[in-house]
Each structure stands twice: as C-alpha cells, then as structure tokens.
Amino acid sequence: MSMNKKWRIKENDTKRIEEIKNKYNVSNLVAQKLAEYNLNDEEITIFLNPTRKNFHDPFLLPDMDKAIERILKAMQYEEKIVVYGDYDADGITSTTIIKRFMKDRGINVGTYIPNRLDEGYGLNEDAIREIASEGYNLMITVDCGITAKNEVELAKSLGIDVIITDHHEVPEEIPDTIAVIDAKRKDSQYPFTQLAGCGVAFKLIQAISIKLNVPENEWLKYIDIACIGTISDIVTLMDENRVIAKLGLKLVEVTRNIGLRTLIEMAGIKKIDSTAISFGISPRINASGRMGHQEDALNLFLTDDPIEARKLAQNLEDYNRQRQEIEKNIYNEALEIAIKNENDPCIVIGKENWHHGVIGIVASKITDLTYKPSILVCFEGEDGKGSGRSIPGFDLHEAVYNCKEYLTASGGHSMAIGLSLKKENFSKFKEKIEEYAKEKNIEELAPELLIDTVITSKDMNIDEVKKIELLEPFGEGNTLPVVLYKNLKIDSIRALSDGKHLKLLLADGNILVDAIGFNMGNLTSNYQIGDRVDIVGNIGINQFRNIENIQITLKDIRCSI
C-alpha cells in the first residue's frame, strides 16, 4: 500500500525570522518556528524560559472559588472525600496529584478509577452506589464528569456533593452541581482553554494552597506528575501547558516520586525529554488501564515503598509487553483485511475476540498507513465495542453521528471516536458510513506533508542542530521541525529489525548524512546505491557509544528530479 504525499513548504515571514534570530541568538530553524507561532517578544521569552511566575490565576477558572470553599469545609469537618479519575495517564496523574497533596495536609482521600474493560470511561451508576455505601460525602472528579448529568443527580440523591474538574468539550447542558471547573466552558474567564485533566487538578491544588497560605513549593513539587499527564494526553504544548511540561521535565530528572523514578529506570530511559515521556513512560501507564489493571499504575505513583514500587513497575512492564503482543496480532489481522478491500473509501472491520483496550491504537496505525479513516470493532457475544481514527478534512464524529440509528452509544471528536453497537447492526452501520465517506469525496483528501524549511550541507552542523532543543518539549502544537534535503546520493541502504525499518547513508559531496525510516523497510527494494533522492524528515542528534552525529528521521523519500 503506498500513497503519494503532497510536499508543501510553509511560507515564511523572513523579516520576522531575522529579527528573532538576532534578538534571541537562536538558529534559523528555531527562529522560524517561533515566527510561525506568531508570538510577541514577551511570549517568546516565556516560551524559551518559562518560570513559576508564568502560571495563570487559578481563580479565573469557572467555579474554582466555590470548589475551594467546599473542599476547605470538608477538610475542616473531616468529611470523607473521594477522587474519581480515569484509567489513562492523564487520569492517573490527576488522581495522584490531588491524593498526594491532600496527604501532605494530613487528609486521607479515597480514590476510584473505573476499569476500562468492565466499566468504560467516566462516571457510572454502580461505582457511585459503591462510593455512597462507603460513606463518602464529597466526590471530586478529575479528567471526567463534564457529561455525567444523570450520574451526578444519582450521587446527590445518595448524599454525595460533587465537584467536577474536567478538560473535555462542554455539552449544551452541564451537570447541576456545586462546581464545574472546565476552562472550555463558554462563561470561562480563563486565558487558556487547553489544559489537560492533570493541568486542571494541578490548578486546584494551586488554588487550595493560595487560600491556605501554603508555601509555593508545596504545590509546585507535583509539577513532575502534571508534566507526565500533560505530555501523555496530547494536548497542545503551548501557553500554560508548556510551562507545566518544561518546568516539569526538569523535576522529572530528579523526581522524588519513587514509583516514577523506578519506572524510568526500568524503561531504561537515559535522557529525560518529551520523547522519553511519550514513548517510554505514557505507554507503560496506559497499558495498565488498557489491560484492566488501572490500580497498579495509580498505586505505583502513590507508594513510598521501593520494594512495592519495583513490583508494580515490573507489572506495568509486563502489561505493556502483553499490550504490544496483542496489538501486533490485531494489526496484522486488520491490515490483511484492509489490503483485501483497498478500494473501500474507509476501513470498517469487526471481529470476535479482539481486545477492546487496544483497538484504538491499532486503528491509529492503520489510518497512518492507509490514509483512510478506520473504525475497528470487537465483538463479545452480541455486543460490539469500537474505536476509530480519522484523517484531516474528514469529521469522523459527524460521520458516526450520521449512522446513530445503528449504535447504542458513541462519543469523541472529529479525529477520534468510540462507539458501541449490537453485532446484528454492524453490516448496516458499515454500509452507511462507507456511503457517507463516498458522498464526502474522501478519495480527494490526499495526505499533505508540511515542510518547515529546505536545508543544505551548510546546515549539517552539530552545534546548530543542537539548538533545536531550545524548542523542547515537543508535542501537539509544538512539533519537531520538518526539513527537506534535496539531491542526496545513496551510499548504503539496508533494512533493520527483520525488514521493518529503513537505514540509509546518504552523501552530499563529501558530507555524509545518516537517515532512518521507521516502519519504512518495505521501501528498501525501491532504491539502490548510487540513486539520487530527496528526503523529508526531522533532524536531530543521534548518540551511539558516546559518539554524536546528525541523523534525519524520515517522513518521506522520493527520487530526485
């Protein structure tokens, strides 16, 4: 399966780039990114060197004052408080932040994390009944709750006050309760709307600290945990999220959280940066929830016992390996079906015995490979649970909503959805969504590769390339620079890891350029030594046996014209 990506070089404001370059003494690539983000001088200073002074006032968040008033009352009268979280990295870190902060204040808070496989996301009635039976008077939700209108009513009827802290899209009608803290509320005065769930939890402990005159360091010391959740949740790493992530990474390096430290050691992470979090830490935390063992991830962050931390970190390692194995098998099965039906406008596959904690990741990989929206559904008996991913320009949420008569539940946004249906309705659903995709002329959506700049041999300077690290942490909203390097001669070409990856040594005159294409091993047979190629990718430094060299991680390659 191949697709021709359109290469498009971004238009740049050369005057502004020069200005930034001179004023901040940064490389051309860094100046270009800062110019692209349209930041003024004050914002650039904060972007490059955020400090603890760059946090917004937590009391600008809707209902924050009401929430704090109720929490302080509960603390004063020793009421029983429970934090209701979510099973992913954002939910686990949010729960950790509040639980640990309250423990420092001498208050033992209960926690509840739903099981992904049995209960699914968000508040559910059985959980609320269980919480009520344990005598809790106050429930604080983190990373969930904004749509839980009925569940909140049930909680109130059982004598539980509810404070919601969330960061998801706000429905027309929000739950009727003491406080609903979500920066996306229409009436929000907060200057930034894109906090992760753990960012909102972090603002909550900041607000409690301000009210109780608790020293700044007492809430700031949890910024390592907030940083993990923020980077894991793929929210934009700009504005306050960048402050949390950049300051947080510094604290992760010297973290006093025994569980986090043990997890870093066990994952073999040497350098703490956004990549280490995204590809090393997050998948291990998320695997715990995906495999139905959410408590292990939470307990890892809550324990102060090194022996327990090792045991739990090892469990997370094992779940992650199981998750990878299951994912690989589902991916191979789904890909085979997708290739057989390569003329379908979108990929909709349903199968028995697939693991519904993993199908979302597989859908994402299938979409990346085929550049088509994909929905994978796993059947258990008569019920099906599905997960879908989309491509820019095709609103999958709208597409699924258009087929709602065949579904029992659905949710999500334009790029990612979750759904439930009865097995008997699957083929009708598949037919209708394929029809919808055809009507929207989906085949005209060609993948576009946006290129920041064209580089030449003069840019192959290790010190200059290292300056890109000023832009760390990278993620959504602040992506690694993408470069185009033209007319390189192939000096050597081979496949790595059983044909999975592509490894190239390229020559530009007497300069040699290392390039690696992950999951591009199938292209090895398309090129030979001596061919001239243009490559697009991310430029960075690769360290091997203490030797540093410049390496380009490929996004695409084609023959030079």
Going from N- to C-terminal start, the domains of the chain cover 53-318, 341-444, 450-559
What is the Cα–Cα distance from 440 to 289, expressed in whole angstroms? 36
What local confidence, expressed as pLDDT, does residue 444 receive? 83
What local confidence, expressed as pLDDT, does residue 483 receive? 96
What local confidence, expressed as pLDDT, does residue 1 receive? 45
Question: What pLDDT tens digit does each residue of the chain (561 aa) get?
Answer: 445 688 999 998 999 999 999 999 999 999 999 999 999 999 999 999 999 999 999 999 999 999 999 999 999 999 999 999 999 999 999 999 999 999 999 999 999 999 998 998 899 999 999 999 999 999 999 999 999 999 999 999 999 999 999 999 898 999 999 999 999 999 999 999 999 999 999 999 999 999 999 999 999 999 999 999 999 998 999 999 999 999 999 999 999 999 999 999 999 999 999 999 999 999 999 999 999 999 999 999 999 999 999 999 999 999 999 999 999 999 999 999 999 998 899 999 999 989 988 999 999 999 988 889 999 999 999 999 999 999 988 999 999 999 999 999 888 788 889 899 999 999 999 999 999 999 998 888 888 899 999 999 999 999 989 999 999 999 989 999 999 999 999 999 999 988 889 999 999 999 999 999 998 898 999 999 999 999 999 999 988 888 889 999 999 999 998
Rg (CA), the chain: 25
Determine the CATH number of domain 53-318. Answer: 3.90.1640.30
What local confidence, expressed as pLDDT, does residue 497 receive? 85
> In sequence order, which residues have a C-beta less than 8 Å from that of residue 493 and are 6 or more positions away?
502, 503, 504, 505, 524, 527, 528, 529
What is the Cα–Cα distance from 554 to 245, expressed in whole angstroms? 26
What local confidence, expressed as pLDDT, does residue 109 receive? 98
Bin 412: left if φ > 0, else alpha if -120 < ψ < 50, else beta: left
Tokens representing 172 are 């027309």
What local confidence, expressed as pLDDT, does residue 477 receive? 92
What is the Cα–Cα distance from 482 to 545, expressed in whole angstroms? 26
3-class secondary structure per residue, 539-557: EEEEEECCEEEEEEEEEEE
Determine the CATH number of domain 341-444. Answer: 3.10.310.30
What local confidence, expressed as pLDDT, does residue 3 receive? 53
The count of C-alpha atoms lying within 13 angstroms of the C-alpha of 218, restricted to the half-sphere facing its C-beta, is 17
> In sequence order, which residues have a C-beta less than 8 Å from that of residue 39 and are 6 or more positions away?
47
What is the Cα–Cα distance from 9 to 452, expressed in whole angstroms? 6
| Cα distances (angstroms) measured from residue 115 to each of 84, 127, 474, 550 | 12, 10, 31, 44
Of 141, 160, 154, 158, nearest to 84 by C-alpha is: 141
Query: For residue 383, what are the β-bridge partners?
Result: 380, 422
What local confidence, expressed as pLDDT, does residue 396 receive? 94
What is the Cα–Cα distance from 428 to 353, expressed in whole angstroms? 21
Q: Residue 297 corresponds to which amino acid?
A: A
Tokens representing 332 are 């191979």
> In sequence order, which residues have a C-beta less than 8 Å from that of residue 348 and are 6 or more positions away?
374, 375, 377, 429, 430, 433, 434
What is the Cα–Cα distance from 378 to 356, expressed in whole angstroms? 6
> In sequence order, which residues have a C-beta less than 8 Å from that of residue 315 and are 6 or more positions away?
288, 293, 296
Query: How many CB atoms sit inside 10 A of residue 16's CB?
Result: 16
> In sequence order, which residues have a C-beta less than 8 Å from that of residue 533 and are 6 or more positions away?
487, 488, 490, 506, 527, 557, 558, 559, 560
Does the domain made of 450-559 have the CATH classification 2.40.50.460?
Answer: yes
